[in-house]
Amino acid sequence: MSSAPAAVPEEREAAGETRGRTTIAARVVEKIATRALTEVDGVHRPAGRPRGLPFGGGPATAGPRVRARVDGGLAMLRMRIFVVYPAPLRQVTRSLRAHVMARVGELTGLRVRQVDIDIAGLTPPERAGGRPL
């Protein structure tokens, strides 16, 4: 009676066997996307929040909103933003879409299939923290 030795983890990985699965919640994707949108010029950031820092509490109209849906390895995003006037809307949304897709993909490994952007309004430059476009 001989029994075959059990495969060691390295052999299992080489054979294509995996252990478990990593699931990324939609809320995590929303936070990453919210952070990424603060890095794009022309998108309104509430006063007192430097570039790259996530938004805190306050009224819902004070900053952007991001909603995400994750389905397997795909993510779909919907963003509601304010744009600093007189930034060109197409350029801002094109830059925003590309940057958010890249950052979410880089940090989560998900493929962002779609980013819908709703422009909720335009913000005068003086209300946007006085930062240059």
What are the structural domains, with CATH classification, of the chain? Answer: 24-128 (3.30.70.1350)
What is the distance of C-alpha 83 from the center of its chain? Answer: 17
Closest CA to 47 of 121, 126, 118, 120: 126
Q: Are 35 and 26 in contact (CB under 8 A)?
A: no
Q: Which of the four pLDDT bands, split at 50, 70 and 90, describes residue 133?
A: very low
Instruction: Specify the range with the lowest mean pLDDT, choosing from 3-7, 67-71, 99-103, 118-122.
Output: 3-7
For residue range 41-90, what is the model confidence (pLDDT) as tens digits?
Answer: 999 876 655 554 444 444 444 678 999 999 999 999 999 999 999 999 99
Query: What does the alpha-carbon distance between residue 110 and residue 71 come to, in Å, rounded to a whole number?
Result: 9
- What's residue 57's pLDDT? 43
Closest CA to 76 of 44, 113, 103: 113
CA distances from 18 to 4, 13, 72, 107 (A): 20, 6, 16, 21
